[in-house]
Structure formats: structure tokens, C-alpha cells
């Protein structure tokens, strides 16, 4: 089903589960989100996260730790070639990745998906169609998949030729 047809179906209120084509297994979307680009499978320090994404820029803001009175932590945004990661960085210990955005570069995506090459139909074949139709950056057609617990999501958006333009994973914190 084309992006235009999906957008029309969404505008008419047709639930994504009722659309033609394979729905996929909800576990496929779960796996896509859990695997992301490998940044949430094991605890990472801020230095390890910088290294993993090849960070070329970094921005940070201080935040009060609500669980430890008087402790000030940081929310850090790291950017590298085609990837941006936002993480909660406590005063010590591993970071908590909150957002990963991939728009290019050579980051390997799960399910064999490739930025700029995978088509909308490839996404459906890999992880199904059971997702919300929404908009991505710049108003691009997008599909949003959730974990079974709905505590994390993956937003996949497409260019005008229905090729994957980017993926953004979001993870809820404690």
C-alpha cells in the first residue's frame, strides 16, 4: 500500500490493522525498537556512547536528579555522521538513552533496513503494518511503531519516493 493510500485511509479513520497487506507480528516491531542501533542493549558510560556514535558535537544541559537530593545530572545530545543521541547522564554510572535519531551515515539498522534504500513495502515486509500513520520531520509521511508495553517507539519516515529517510527511537525514562 502506498504512502498516499495509507494517508488517505488514516484521514478517513481506517485503523492501521484493517489496512490491506500483512500486519506482521508485534514482536517484529518490539525487536526493531529493542535492537535500534545497539545503544540500549547494554549499559554504556557517556565516554562509551561518544565513541560508539563517533560524536563530533555535544550539547548538554543540567537537570536536578529527582531521586538524589542535591545531585545535578545532565541531559546530553551527541551528534555524529547521520546520527543524534539524547541521553540522561547521571553524575556517575551508565547513561540512560532517551532518543536515537538516524538519518544517514553507515549505522546498521535492524531487520535489514537501509536509510535511502529501503522502501515502504520493505518496512512492511520486515516488521508489518501495525503502526500509527503520522508525520515525520518536515511533514514527511511516517509510521510509528510501539513496544508491546508502549514505553518505547520507533518513528520511521519516508521521502517522496517512499524510501526510508530516517528512524527515531524514543525510550521512556524512570
Q: Domain spans of the chain? A: 1-37+108-174, 42-99
User: pLDDT tens digits, residue range 64-83?
Assistant: 998 899 999 999 999 999 99
Sites in the chain below the pLDDT cut of 70: 1-26, 173-174
> Do the Cβ atoms of 56 and 80 come closer than 8 Å?
yes
Q: Whole-prediction pTM value?
A: 0.83
**Of 7, 100, 14, which is closest to residue 49 (Cα–Cα)?**
100
Helices (H), 63-148: 120-127
Percent of the chain with pLDDT over 90: 75
Backbone angles phi, psi at 4, to 5 degrees: -65, -45
Backbone angles phi, psi at 75, to 5 degrees: -105, 120
Amino acid at each position: 500500500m502506498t504512502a498516499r493510500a495509507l494517508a488517505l485511509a488514516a484521514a478517513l479513520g481506517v485503523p492501521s490493522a484493517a489496512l490491506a497487506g500483512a500486519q506482521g507480528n508485534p514482536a517484529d516491531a518490539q525487536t526493531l525498537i529493542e535492537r535500534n542501533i545497539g545503544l540500549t542493549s547494554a549499559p554504556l558510560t557517556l565516554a562509551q556512547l561518544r565513541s560508539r556514535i563517533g560524536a563530533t558535537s555535544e550539547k548538554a544541559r543540567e537537570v536536578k536528579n529527582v531521586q538524589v537530593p542535591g545531585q545535578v545530572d545532565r541531559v546530553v545530545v551527541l551528534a555524529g555522521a547521520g546520527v543524534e543521541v539524547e541521553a540522561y547522564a547521571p553524575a556517575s554510572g551508565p547513561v540512560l538513552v532517551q532518543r536515537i535519531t538516524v538519518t544517514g551515515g553507515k549505522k546498521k539498522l535492524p531487520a535489514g533496513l537501509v536509510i535511502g534504500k529501503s522502501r515502504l513495502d520493505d518496512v512492511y515486509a520486515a516488521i508489518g503494518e501495525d503502526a500509527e500513520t503520522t508525520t515525520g520531520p518536515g511533514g514527511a509521511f511516517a509510521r510509528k511503531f510501539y513496544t508491546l508495553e508502549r514505553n518505547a517507539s520507533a518513528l520511521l519516515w519516508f521521502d517522496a519516493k517512499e524510501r526510508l529517510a530516517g528512524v527515531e527511537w524514543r525510550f521512556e525514562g524512570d
